[in-house]
Structure 1
Amino acid sequence: MSIDKICQKEPWKNLAVLGNKLPGVVISVPPESLLEYWREHFDFAGTQLELMDGSTYLDDLNQSISTNNVITLFPFDHLQPEKHAVNPDTHYRLLSKATLAELGVLCPNYQTYNLKQVRLDQIPLPSQFPYLIKTSHGLSGEGTYIIRSSNDLNYCLEELNKYLKINLLETIVVSEFVKQVIQNYCVQFYVNKQGETLLIGVTQQLVSAEGNYLGGIIDYANSMSKFFEMIAAVENYAYRQGYFGVIGFDVLETKDGELYAIDANFRINGSTPLCLQRHELLKFNKTIAKYSSDYRMEGTLDSIRSTLKPQLERKEFLILSALERVKYGKIYTEIYGIVAGETLKEMQQIEQTLQHQGLHLTD
């Protein structure tokens, strides 16, 4: 995964909606034009931005007297265990795809293999396609391989061997492939230290044919009631493990109405900022919204803000994160954004209008 995604675009997206109660650590300061946009549209005061040196920030947090606990997306080896808000060993285990069967919800049948105990070429793979092979930890589809053919399997094994050579892989999961799927959801909620739950939202996930995450669509008027039993089970499990924070678990709905949990992310999820815009967008009668991390438009962020000013002011388009690039002497900007409308049809029409103005999804 590219360093700009990890250190700039992803953290900036979360910083935009963090609020003004807790400081967010960044090792690359967002451009002034983006900060200015946030101040106008996200009630961003800037008090929650704490810039630290990328080469020493974990040491600085370890030595900080004022910082007792750090809420992390993933545990950091170099951050002292007592500085983690959630025990890092617990957090790492919860983030493993091998824990899915422990959640108490319906999930696909799968087998877990420790590659220190069994060689990759000795693992008994299913005799029929399709099926899935997953590394124990991954992000946005990385580390998940849909095996539909011998070519897919050969590519997967080549990738896994690369991970093995650099000691980045210990456990893999071989899972059945859920068929006759009609919807792919991400169900999100927050559980506090007392085990109390706050619902955040549910999105319909957009994924590529390879299973890579592309974004999500949300209907703010939809109830989450069909997921209440699953939420209760996952929340109860998380609380027993000593976890608190955001949880998003991915659910496939089949033609027969069965709900299969296929992944659980004990962290802020890609579409969490989309869910958190519920109250603000409903003020503008925007019920349907779509989030994507793959928007691109020619020009600087300042010029884009000028071109799209009407849509930005009407909350038809929201910019969560933006990074300017130069290619062949031309400037363009990569954008994490939200398109919103009163209905699905209007949202799609707005997206088409934005495309005519030069905002496109990258391939």
Structure 2
Amino acid sequence: MNSTYDFPYFQGNSLSDLFAPDITDARYAFILNYPATASWAAYPNREKYFIQDGSSEATKTSFDKIGQKEPWKNLAVLGDAIPGIVINSPPNSLIDYWREHFDFSYSSMEMIDCSTYLEDLGRSDRFDKLITLFPFDNLKPEKHAVHPDIHYHLLSKATLAELGVQCPKYQTYNLHEVNLESIELPEQFPYLIKASHGLSGEGTYIIKSASDLNYCLQEVRKYLDIKLLDTIIVSEFVKNEVQNYCVQFYVSKTGNIRLIGTTTQLVTPEGSYLGGLIHYRETDMSRFFEMIAAIGKYAHQQGYFGVIGF
């Protein structure tokens, strides 16, 4: 058991409870959906805060995932203390099911038209700060609860080596400074090539053969053609893994850490994500304490507060 750190477990039962001590200084709301880059998006992230959500219109993440599935999952456990912004209202039957099982009222849900929501939020005086899952190009920086430059930097795979934790060896390439064809790739398979800000695993390519590499390079070129990619990472492949975990915790504005738990992640032999098994209190989190401390400290020093998963 690691006795150097004494991180308490979060004792509440909602995202609102997690954020509550840090949102007393202003009027906050939570934008529950990710930004998108597809043509259907009224406010696509195509200027600064790129999110790799598909290399072509045909493969981009659909509205039902970004506008419904993802925000509704967050809304279900948000609680009632923070207004939750949704751009597509969940069906009444689903809200009734949540009320029965989670015992929240969902009276603070804010339904805003998806064609105007960022403009409405930007000029509204109802909310001073907006908590986001990812920075929005079309939301004023001062409206973000965490400055969007900081948030974007922390979400980048290229930031991993700065966190002070053990990680696979990797090399970062700015594709505006280095020609894709001139990058010296590893001589032996397998290895990984990753886009910097892939949504739900998009932009992560496990290179086990020449055909994998050809496919990856085609996809990267597509992203370059539509001007939605700046940085890629070439990383070693972690072999002989024993278990795949996702550790979750909350870092407050004062730098205090509260543990949420650890999810055992499931993947196919090819590396595709299948989901997670949650046995929060059955996992000894002390094995992760040094990483939690390092990542939490780095994020706090950068000016971040909120949930962190690694």
Q: Which amino acid aligns with 2:290?
A: E
2:299 is matched with 238
Secondary structure (helix, strand or coil) at the match of 1:225 reads: helix
Deviation of 1:140 (Å): 1.9
1:73 & 1:213 partners in 2: Cα distance?
20
* 1:223 maps to which of 254, 269, 284: 284
1:18 & 1:151 partners in 2: Cα distance?
44
Unaligned runs of 5+ in 1: 250-363
With the length of structure 1 as denominator, give the TM-score of the two structures.
0.68
Matched, 1:67 2:142: no
The answer to whether the Cα contact below 8 Å between 2:79 and 2:106 also exists between their aligned partners in 1 is no
Secondary structure (helix, strand or coil) at the match of 2:93 reads: helix
2:93 is matched with 33
Unaligned runs of 5+ in 2: 1-60
1:1-363 → structure 2 map (5 Å cutoff): 1-219=61-279, 220-249=281-310
1:223 & 1:173 partners in 2: Cα distance?
31
Q: Which amino acid aligns with 1:233?
A: A
Secondary structure (helix, strand or coil) at the match of 1:216 reads: strand
1:70 & 1:117 partners in 2: Cα distance?
34
Secondary structure (helix, strand or coil) at the match of 2:243 reads: strand
User: Going by fraction, where is strand more abundant, 1 or 2?
Assistant: 1
2:282 & 2:177 partners in 1: Cα distance?
49
Q: Which has the higher contact order (CA 8 A, sep 6+)?
A: 2
The answer to whether the Cα contact below 8 Å between 1:61 and 1:67 also exists between their aligned partners in 2 is yes
Deviation of 1:47 (Å): 1.5
Secondary structure (helix, strand or coil) at the match of 2:244 reads: strand
With the length of structure 2 as denominator, give the TM-score of the two structures.
0.79
Secondary structure (helix, strand or coil) at the match of 1:61 reads: helix
The answer to whether the Cα contact below 8 Å between 2:250 and 2:308 also exists between their aligned partners in 1 is yes
Over residues 212-250 of structure 1, what are the superposed CA-to-partner deviations in whole Å (9 max), with x where a residue is unaligned? 33211122322211101110000000010000000000x
1:76 & 1:224 partners in 2: Cα distance?
33
Aligned residues between the structures: 249
1:78 & 1:141 partners in 2: Cα distance?
24
Q: RMSD over aligned Cα, in angstroms?
A: 0.9
Q: Which amino acid aligns with 1:4?
A: D
Secondary structure (helix, strand or coil) at the match of 1:137 reads: coil
Deviation of 1:210 (Å): 4.2
Q: Which amino acid aligns with 1:228?
A: F
Structure 1 segments of 4+ aligned residues over 6 angstroms from their partners: none
Larger radius of gyration: 1
